[in-house]
Structure 1
Amino acid sequence: MLKSRILFLSAFFTSIVYFSWRTFFTLPIDESIGELVCGFLLLLAELVGFIEALNQYQSRLDFNEPAKPDVELDRYPHVDVLIATYNEDMELLRKTINGCKNMDYPDKNKVHIYLCDDKNRWQIRSLAKEMQIGYITRKEPVDAKAGNYNNALLFTDSPLIATFDADMIPMHDFLMALVPFFFLEETIHKKIGFIQSPQSFYNLDLFQYNLFSETTVPNEQDFFFRHVQLIRNKNNSAIYTGSNTILSREALEKAGGFYTKVITEDLATGLAIQSAGFQCYATASVHANGLAPTDLDNLFKQRERWARGCIQTFRKMKVFRRKGLSLSQKHSYFMALVYWYTPMRRFIFIMAPILYVLFHVTLLKASFGEILLIWLPYALLYNKALSSLTGRIRISRLSNIYDTILFPHLLFTIMLETLGIEKRSFHVTGKDKVSVSLSYKIRTIIPHLLLIVLSSASIIMCLYHWLLSGSSKFMFILFWLLVNLYNLLMAVFFVLGRKSYRTSERIKVILPLTIKYNKEILTTSTFDLSEGGISVLFDFPVYIPVDQNLDITIQNEDSRYCCSLSGKIVHITELKSKWNYAISFTSVSSENLLILYHILYDRIPVHPKKVASQSSFYDDFTRNLHSRGQKNIFSTRKLPRISLQTVLFTTEGKPVTLINFNYEFAFFKLTQVKLYTMTVVIDQEQNLVMECILNDDKKAGCLYKILNSETLAKNPLFLNYLNVWMQEYQANKKTLSMPQKYSTPRDEFTDMDFIKDDYVEMDSSKI
């Protein structure tokens, strides 16, 4: 704690020194009016960033998350659960309804679930009937989501109201975790308006996925929900974000219902509740999970709506003059407004060195010595303090990348909204996986590409002037340009994207699992799980016949859920020292599908919670370059290919080298003439042999069909030999002198090998 305080105080002191120097000694006051204006805008952009950080630091000193009170079970009140929908897919809604019905509560008769359909669709009405929940609709969908909820208030009467977006699936503990907070009013003597839990996501957001940062960077929204929101608890300015929330009906009525005059009804409604005198809190613990936008268009439209809505809310609700808000609350909401002007600041930071180098516009006057003495300590300590302040949920480098990605799409939107030119249409963020076209991507990155060209030209000119004049100040300008260029290149990487091959999200989770087939029972654990399939890990490469139908039973960690379904193996890969069997589900009953949804989504996502230490300028950039240059190779191997390099002998005493093996086929290197049929001795005393017939003659060896494969696969002695051979291979792996073609993951046992084999007794069309 003392170390952190010293860091923050040092950062604060160097910041005061830096901004004093910038204000009084670096502005180009003896240059033209245009240059002075540009210099002032640059200083203002820097100063706003410092004020934002200072605001976080001051609030962090009193980081506030209320303690949940203990409440007698019979005191839990009635709750109306409202699920807002407009055009979402029926299966998406089924998952959310399924989660809502699964919520624990002392008396479930007090939980009333309603599907609020703003398009009056008969399919959704049927879904509500099938799932045995209420259905509320209206003739005209005026006032968008706010109007939808206000309409629902007319048909419900519970004292508490939980609101969920169509994709947000509550965990079973949602109500039990949040409802008790409403009893805080007995101790703080102030009525509770709403309790906001984080919006968590079970899929990777686009920033994680497109930048290959799924293992190194948290969800981009985590910074707001796990850090900013808790800071705002201090002065009762936590933001209502529309979902994963429980609100007081009394508070809503006092606030005039859900606010309808802006496109971000949630922000405005929460502000109205707080100004009506109600205490509101945000919590850090996750109790519901949803889908982050999966395509660029929906992401940009979502952020555009948030930006416009925040500016509209501040203007229409007259925050500075609004009665019922304290000075600190007004300041807090003002800082939320200031955040949405970040695109303007980012544009200034990118253009400033370009203007100086290419167009000779002086924005600040300073010597290299002054920069080294004043700016460098400030920059180092400021970034270190900011990283420490956020607990590495966010670091300034990532913020700069995110801002660079978004600013071209928000810049004019913000300017228009600031001038009062509104966009009243409400865009529902799409949740379907949509592949944007190449032409859309090119149009999107045109601003970034233009700035890359200008920055690159500036770098060349900067180097030229530096070499020509020998002035060290160009080192600072060069550094600035290189950082901007890095951010712009990362923005281009982001927009170019990354192809998604999965139809459903894969969730990494280790759960007990049983596989049954042909009187065989295998017990293992999952590696990951999705709605369409599962991958399981085995310590030993077990033999499961190709296209064998498998009966699978999965349990969650505390045995709350148990799901039974059927599947077939689609591919097998070696994963370090284990074997990964990917299974595609072929049959799932409707009842078990709902249980599978519980197993998948009734859990906290396992995405990173902090920025990893290996996330750096160099690491992130090279990872993107390397990953984009790689070709995705998808295995279709349905049997485990086991590398061995074991010397055996035929019954005639001829030596053969077993290079690799997959139970049904074996690849041998022969020292003499190839044999059409051969019997390979494994244990002469036990009469354990491998009966083989030639399947294909390859340049480096021969591929043989194993005629007694099933017998061998069930023989404990053979499996013991196989295990010994595998261990010997691993021990000698580094010293083996193998032909180059076998040191690569080339697959001798492809599907074509099976299809063309006259001795395989299976329907090859199914492979």
Structure 2
Amino acid sequence: MNSFLDPTLGIVLLANAAALAVVILGKRSSSFWRSSICLVCAITVVSYLLWRLHYILYGRELSTFESTLTKLLFVFELINFVDFFIFLLSMSRFRDRSSEADRALEKLRALPSDQWPRVDIFVATYNEEWEILEKTILAVKLLDYPHKQGFILDDGKRDWLRDKCAQIGFGYIRRPGNAHKKPGNHNFALTQTSAPFIAMFDADFIPMPNFLLRTVGLLLDNPGWGILQTPQTFYNYDPMRSNLRLQSSLPDDTAMFFTVMEPCRDAWGCAFYVGSSALIRRQALEDIGGVVMGYDTEDQITSIAMLQSGYQTGFLNESLSTGLAPESLKALFDQRKRWARGSVQILFSKHGPFGPSLTLLQRLMFSQFFWLIGFVAPIVYALIPTLMWLFRIRLFPYMPPAEVLLVPIFLFCCINLTIWWLANGKWLPLVSPALQLLISLQILPVIMATLIKPFGKPLLDFVHVTPKGKDAHGNERINWSALRWLLAIIVCTAGGIAIYLLDDYKYVNHPVELMTIFFWTAVNLIIAAIAVLGCISPSYRRSEERFPIEIAVTVATSGGPVSGRTRDISLNGCLLGFSEPVALGDGPIHIRLDELGEITGRIVRQIGTKELAIEFQGMSKSTQTALFSRIFLNPDNHCRHLEGPEKLYPACFMRMFGAIDHSAK
């Protein structure tokens, strides 16, 4: 039979054409178009699996070793694609509640202000430094809402923090012990407060002034909701963006979840609380006995408990807060290890997918399949080319060469195109799998250990509170624990290729099949190489994040005032640009920022003749507040525009060969 007439090949070709048509014509917010591309991709996957199964059952007889390995790989693919089908199902619908929030806000504003519900704002903290807490406290005080009260929930029992809160008139709660970590902290605060709504924030999360205006009315309008979650955005670059030097083109690694997956889950009624940036109904919490305790993560399991009690969850896809992404690779790994352990623990809970009072859809959506399979798959697929070259294994033995080349490649294209489109560009081929591989190598042992011993002291210990600020930065620029495994994969794969090329016996002698093997090997090596670059941190770190904000400035000089503009700015410094050459002395300089106030600073360095790097040394309290608001309380500053893939991939490959190194960004 002519392989090009094979039905599988025809199906995958048509499916790719259909997926491409959806990408060109479809609207990402339309459930019709989303369902269409998900169905097309699912058909492609099923066709591929049937094609694989046909040759396993009816192909030529293999050696025992090859036959066993081929069948095991097929079983693994089946399991992996079950997880993928759940993903496609969850992503096939989308809900945007912004218009609902607009209407709810109009209704809220129609009420007399004394009828607006009271809101308690919980800021849970353990060991964060004042520079982090100060931002959050100031943002809470600047919230545009009449009946609010903020509280620091201090599990660090710090007298200096209690005194500072008293000085600025901010609520402070300290519990007698530290049992059950953050959920225990929240539950004690519930007993000390009484407002019907509670806004939850982590210590580093800065709410926008309109956070309560956009959320209170929506929760008020939906009495059956227990939780209204909003996205978490970040004002700093996460480790992968910084380490790859792709700050301007790579989305942060949680952007896909918060801006796409949560709205999709919301369309199915399965959005969940993520521990911060949420508004919660007190009555709902009290009805389930408070925030669920006894697990490494309290957020998802609390959402499931509310669903079991008859409450619903909602998600408002608006950037209403910003916080600190993990500031080092080690901090990122510790965070994900905690998430992994907490998610696997759900399987053993009455609030898990096997617990009571959940629908079949809810059980699927909270099945934790992603945590069981999603971190095994990257490692398995990274090892397959290595095993093929080292042990002379044929991945697709005795299949028509054209099918061996085209069917898997078209499957690969269809899956990548589908995920990229569904994720609105927040998932990127090669780069996103590289991050997944990097994290998988670290957290898979934690997942396996948790399956063996889900509760009590973990078999593999890790930091249970994500470090922030100075605590997040270690002395190591290179994360050797991840790097050594990646280098082992690369070296073994290269060694296997060398053995094949030098060996007289060629177990693969058809050029098309050999081309296929080299293609998949190249894909895996590129992913591993990107992951390797992700292990190496920049040598330079700023004490405060810089933002590319332009503000008109006037600098006092001996020759009179000179006008310029900021190129970038932070709370403790800026880069000034001038249209004409400037020459200033070594002493303090006085800068007036348009509409913000006056600041005293010193010149750190001069860049050419038209740029000055300035360190701020003194400003009034009102100027400090105005500067803080200008930098942090404008969502546009932390939802930065990203360059397209056409710039990301060339920059990524240039980075591989050391052509760019923007360490100081």
TM over 0.5: yes
Letter in 2 for 1:88: E
Is residue 557–residue 584 contact of structure 2 (8 Å, CA) maintained in 1? no
Is residue 505–residue 530 contact of structure 1 (8 Å, CA) maintained in 2? yes
> Are 1:460 and 2:498 counterparts?
yes
Task: Give the drift of 1:460.
Answer: 2.2
Query: Which SS does the other structure have where 2:221 is aligned?
Result: helix
Task: Give the drift of 1:611.
Answer: 6.5
Q: From the superposition, tell whether residues 523 and 136 of structure 1 become closer, same or farther in structure 2 (CA, over 3 Å).
A: same
Letter in 2 for 1:546: G
Spell out the pairing of 1:126-525 with structure 2 (5 A cutoff): 126-185=163-222, 191-334=224-367, 336-339=368-371, 341-361=373-393, 364-365=396-397, 366-422=399-455, 423=457, 427-433=464-470, 434-438=472-476, 441-464=479-502, 468=506, 470-472=509-511, 473-518=513-558, 520-525=560-565
Query: Which SS does the other structure have where 1:262 is aligned?
Result: coil
Equivalent residue number for residue 617 of structure 2: 586
Is residue 556–residue 562 contact of structure 2 (8 Å, CA) maintained in 1? yes
Q: Which of structures 1 and 2 has the bigger CA Rg?
A: 1
Of 55, 59, 62, the match for 2:93: 62
Is residue 517–residue 549 contact of structure 1 (8 Å, CA) maintained in 2? no
- Quick one: distance in 2 between partners of 1:612 and 1:93? 35
> Are 1:72 and 2:72 counterparts?
no
TM-score (norm 1): 0.75
Equivalent residue number for residue 19 of structure 2: none
Of 144, 149, 164, the match for 1:104: 144
- Quick one: distance in 2 between partners of 1:553 and 1:176? 33
Task: Give the drift of 1:241.
Answer: 0.7
Runs of 4+ off more than 6 Å: 631-634
With 350-359 and 77-86 compared, the bigger mean Cα shift is at: 350-359
Cα deviations by residue, 1:218-237 (Å, 9 ceiling, x for unpaired):
11110110011111102221
Task: Give the drift of 1:598.
Answer: 2.1
Query: Which SS does the other structure have where 1:148 is aligned?
Result: helix
Q: From the superposition, tell whether residues 632 and 258 of structure 1 become closer, same or farther in structure 2 (CA, over 3 Å).
A: closer
Query: Which SS does the other structure have where 2:375 is aligned?
Result: helix
Query: Which SS does the other structure have where 2:447 is aligned?
Result: helix
Task: Give the drift of 1:368.
Answer: 2.4
Query: Which SS does the other structure have where 1:321 is aligned?
Result: coil
Using the aligned pairs only, state the percent identity: 27
Letter in 1 for 2:209: H
Is residue 233–residue 638 contact of structure 2 (8 Å, CA) maintained in 1? no
Q: From the superposition, tell whether residues 120 and 102 of structure 1 become closer, same or farther in structure 2 (CA, over 3 Å).
A: same
Query: Which SS does the other structure have where 1:626 is aligned?
Result: coil
- Quick one: distance in 2 between partners of 1:545 and 1:238? 56
Letter in 1 for 2:352: V
Query: Which SS does the other structure have where 2:430 is aligned?
Result: helix
Equivalent residue number for residue 570 of structure 1: 604
Is residue 53–residue 386 contact of structure 1 (8 Å, CA) maintained in 2? no
- Quick one: distance in 1 between partners of 2:478 and 2:347? 33
Task: Give the drift of 1:282.
Answer: 1.6
Cα deviations by residue, 1:700-755 (Å, 9 ceiling, x for unpaired):
xxxxxxxxxxxxxxxxxxxxxxxxxxxxxxxxxxxxxxxxxxxxxxxxxxxxxxxx
Task: Give the drift of 1:212.
Answer: 0.8
Of 1, 25, 32, the match for 1:3: 25
Spell out the pairing of 1:535-614 with structure 2 (5 A cutoff): 535-541=575-581, 543-555=582-594, 562-573=596-607, 579-604=610-635, 605-606=637-638, 608=640, 612-614=644-646
Is residue 296–residue 436 contact of structure 1 (8 Å, CA) maintained in 2? no
Query: Which SS does the other structure have where 1:87 is aligned?
Result: coil
Spell out the pairing of 1:654-669 with structure 2 (5 A cutoff): none
Is residue 118–residue 148 contact of structure 2 (8 Å, CA) maintained in 1? yes
With 425-434 and 272-281 compared, the bigger mean Cα shift is at: 425-434
Task: Give the drift of 1:453.
Answer: 1.2
Of 52, 55, 59, the match for 1:25: 55
Q: From the superposition, tell whether residues 59 and 301 of structure 1 become closer, same or farther in structure 2 (CA, over 3 Å).
A: closer
Equivalent residue number for residue 15 of structure 1: 45
Q: From the superposition, tell whether residues 307 and 121 of structure 1 become closer, same or farther in structure 2 (CA, over 3 Å).
A: same
Task: Give the drift of 1:624.
Answer: 3.8
- Quick one: distance in 1 between partners of 2:210 and 2:662? 43
Equivalent residue number for residue 626 of structure 1: 658
TM-score (norm 2): 0.86
Task: Give the drift of 1:142.
Answer: 0.5
- Quick one: distance in 2 between partners of 1:350 and 1:340? 17
- Quick one: distance in 2 between partners of 1:444 and 1:405? 7
Q: From the superposition, tell whether residues 474 and 176 of structure 1 become closer, same or farther in structure 2 (CA, over 3 Å).
A: same
Q: From the superposition, tell whether residues 171 and 295 of structure 1 become closer, same or farther in structure 2 (CA, over 3 Å).
A: same
Query: Which SS does the other structure have where 1:507 is aligned?
Result: coil
Cα RMSD, aligned residues only: 2.8
- The answer to which structure, 1 or 2, has the higher relative contact order (CA under 8 A, 6+ apart) is 2
> Are 1:528 and 2:568 counterparts?
yes
With 156-165 and 585-594 compared, the bigger mean Cα shift is at: 585-594
Task: Give the drift of 1:447.
Answer: 1.3
Query: Which SS does the other structure have where 1:369 is aligned?
Result: helix
Task: Give the drift of 1:65.
Answer: 2.3
Is residue 217–residue 608 contact of structure 1 (8 Å, CA) maintained in 2? no
- Quick one: distance in 2 between partners of 1:53 and 1:520? 66
Larger strand proportion, structure 1 or 2? 1
Task: Give the drift of 1:34.
Answer: 5.9
Task: Give the drift of 1:370.
Answer: 1.4
- Quick one: distance in 1 between partners of 2:578 and 2:203? 38
Task: Give the drift of 1:47.
Answer: 4.1
- Quick one: distance in 1 between partners of 2:78 and 2:566? 51
Equivalent residue number for residue 4 of structure 2: none
Q: From the superposition, tell whether residues 326 and 394 of structure 1 become closer, same or farther in structure 2 (CA, over 3 Å).
A: same
